[in-house]
Structure 1
Amino acid sequence: MSHYFSPGAYLPHDAPMLLLETVLSVTEEQAVCQVVVNRRGVLAPFLDANGNLPGWYAMELMAQTVGVWSGWHRQQRGEAQISLGMVLGARELKCANGELAAESQLDITVTLLMQDERFGSFECAITAGGETLASGRVNTFQPSQEELTTLFQQGASS
């Protein structure tokens, strides 16, 4: 049994946009989360007719695992509030088969490459049964509360 909370305890996401099922580990420089591609789990609304998850979801799985890493570290520092982060982009993002196969148990691993107060870069991989299915580098940004307020106010007035 994991001594971690569910991914939702670390992320500002709710169903159906919470795409992770389990937090396996979090360290200073790495997080590993897991999800199963099947019609009984959290990915069910996003599966194609064959039960596969389209490859473009790989980036969101990686980003949410980065969010778990960040959220866990915030909790360790005693910061109770979950914070919204943003993906600036991805580099060399590849999904070998263009999809993540039905009934696969996916392990999503993110490894910190660099971080300052507001920016982070993570090397990411999605594996199943020891085979790498997707990989890439995800770059993130942590906006201030004022920036978030401005962003959402402008979005509401558009």
Structure 2
Amino acid sequence: MSDYLSAAHYLPHAAPMVLLDRVIAVSDDGAHCQVRVSHDGVLAPFLDAQGQLPAWFGVEIIAQTVGVWSGWHGLQADGATPQPGMLLGGRGYRAQQPCFSGGALLDVQVKLLMRDAKIGSFEGQIFIDGEPVAAGRLNTYQPDRHELQQLLQQDLPS
């Protein structure tokens, strides 16, 4: 297994919007990341009064795992800095519980189902102690630089 940098290295986000701790693996058709639900971790700003993370955050955690997959592949291909992607939608996201408990280690795995030049579809799952606790399918869009400029109505640095 290769050594990976922190998840933030592969994402176009800055704290506190990085919701992943570690990259475990990236392959041609998937990625595996982890994050711990903890008051002293990256999820701390989003925990409720009981130290739990609402399960609907799972959609973004899965989306960021897709972002790690994309960012890692971009770096391998041409050394490019991670580019913003867009979550077009999700299908069938279901969580087995309303919150992820404090102290839980969330194992997040995504698998590429389909991809063309800009659109991808990924199946994502979140596990705690090897048991699936949330899953769903996400559809993503990777705009090119010109499209990003149009969307943001501004010039991006070279």
Which position in structure 2 is the counterpart of 1:78?
78
How much has 1:81 moved relative to structure 2?
2.2
**Partner residue, 2:61:** 61
1:152 shift after superposition: 1.1
Separation in 1 of the partners of 2:138 and 2:79? Answer: 24
Matched residue pairs, number? 154
TM-score normalised by L of structure 1: 0.94
For the pair 1:5 / 2:13, whether they are aligned, the reply is no
Tell me how far apart the structure 1 counterparts of residues 151 and 32 of structure 2 sit (CA, whole Å). 31
Deviation at 1:2, TM superposition (A): 6.1
Separation (CA, whole Å) in 2 of partners of 1:99 and 1:84: 28
TM-score by length of 2: 0.94
**Cα pair distance change 1:38/1:2, threshold 3 Å:** farther
Aligned CA-pair RMSD: 1.3
Matches within 5 A, 1:9-28: 9-28=9-28
Deviations 1:85-112 (A, max 9, x none): 0000000001111111111000000000
SS in 2 for 1:77: helix
1:106 matched residue in structure 2: 106
8 A Cα contact 1:25 1:31, kept in partner: yes
How far residue 142 of structure 1 moved from its aligned partner, in angstroms, is: 0.7
- Give 1:37 shift: 0.2
Partner residue of 1:136?
136
Amino acid at match of 2:30: Q
CA distance in 2, matches of 1:50, 1:59: 21
Superposition deviation, residue 75 in structure 1: 1.1
Alignment of 1:117-156 (within 5 A): 117-153=117-153
Tell me which stretches of 4 or more aligned residues in structure 1 moved more than 4 Å: none
Whole-angstrom CA distance in 2 between matches of 1:148 and 1:27: 27
Distance 1:82 1:118 in 2: 15
Of 34-43 and 1-10, the range deviating more from structure 2: 1-10
